Structure formats: structure tokens, C-alpha cells
A and B are shown apart, each in its own frame.
Chain A
Amino acid sequence: AQTVTQSQPEMSVQEAETVTLSCTYDTSENNYYLFWYKQPPSRQMILVIRQEAYKQQNATENRFSVNFQKAAKSFSLKISDSQLGDTAMYFCAFMKQSHSGAGSYQLTFGKGTKLSVIP
């Protein structure tokens, strides 16, 4: 079974500063995907960034980037130039093809990190 650990329940950052959210995972799989999802108070679960395990290059999406360390099973998210709209719960998630779900995926979430951006 896969586990995803987010060790920071809450974090805060000043507007325009940089913040890093931590995530570690445990798996025996070779083919998998890692995600950061953002859930603001509006409750929509929004994809922030995606990383394929077989790719060594770290994914980036504008102000968001990851530090993917496959051997250490670590997948941290860096948010640069933080904005007030970044205030949200951030979930790290591990995904693999479901063995029992015939063509579907199994998505395992961490417990989340609540990020507050302070003006």
C-alpha cells in the first residue's frame, strides 16, 4: 500500500515571498505519478502540478515548481512570489494504475498543508 506524508499541517508566508511545502511517500511501485492539488475555501480541488516518476527533470508551472527526489521518495512544492490567491489547503497525492479498478487510477492523498499568504 502507498502512503503519503505531509509533515507541515499549517504554514504561512508573506506575500511575494517563497515557500516550500514538504511531501514524502512510500511505495514499491516503479510506474507512478505525483501531484500537488490545491483546495481553496471555495472547495474546488485544482491541479497545481504533475510529475511522472520516470522523468528526472523537475516539473514547473509558472510560479510553482517541484523538487522530486525519487530515491529519497520526496516531492516538495516551491511557490515563488506568493500571492493572496495562493491561500488554500495543499494536498500532495500519489497515483498509480489501479490493480482492481480495470482502467482506473488509485489516488492516495496526504493529510494536507494549510497555507496562508499574509499581505
Chain B
Amino acid sequence: DTEVTQTPKHLVMGMTNKKSLKCEQHMGHRAMYWYKQKAKKPPELMFVYSYEKLSINESVPSRFSPECPNSSLLNLHLHALQPEDSALYLCASSPSATDSSGANVLTFGAGSRLTVL
């Protein structure tokens, strides 16, 4: 399995809703990433997990809450979002940079398109 699977593909939510985005990989990768991508822009890094521990938070508002329950799964919990949070949310994974046998590349999922009303 060489894929990163993201669900749902599309999500519409109101500003008072609570929802979650899910990301799963079975490549044995120990680093997982959340990116946010606005239309016609490159992806922007939000969070990085390494060995199931949060290692980077790029000053993301607390209405976004990441979680890494195990080495294959990454969630992004959403609460009290704003319309400007509407974007494509991309998950990616990579081997650990300390793993000399791993290919040094990030593999991306197809993304979850989020619309906040």
C-alpha cells in the first residue's frame, strides 16, 4: 500500500459545528503532516507529527486540534471555524528523516475540501 487516504473528500460545516478530518497511511511512515491550501496557492504547513508526537505547530489557531492516535492515523479536529478557514486540507506522510533506508519524499493524500458557512 503506497497511498495516503483522506476522508471525507468534501465537508461543509457551520461555524458552530464540530467535525473531524481523517488521514491514514500503511506505509510504515513515522512522520505525518497537515497542510492547508487555498485556491491557486501552494500548500502551507500546519502541523507535523513525528513518532506520534506533535513536533511542529506553525502557530495554528486553537480551533484546529490535531491528534495522532497511532502511527498510521492522523486526525484534525475542527471546532468554531471561520469562513476564511475554507480550503483544501492535505495530509502527507514520510519516512523518518533518521531512517536511512527510507525514501526521502512526502507522499500526499487527495485532500479534504472544507467549506465553512
Contact = CB atoms under 8 A, between A and B. Distances in A.
Interface string A65-109: 000000000000000000000000101000101101111111101
Interface residues of A, number: 28
Nearest to A47: B105
A103 B96 contact: yes
Q: Which of A50, A97, A104 has the most CB of B within 10 A?
A: A104
Contact of A104 (B33, B105, B108): B33
Given A45-B108, A47-B105, A97-B97, A104 B48 contact: yes
Contacts, number: 81
Interface residues of B, number: 32
A69 B39 CA distance: 31
A105 B97 contact: yes
Interface string B68-107: 0000000000000000000010101010111100001111
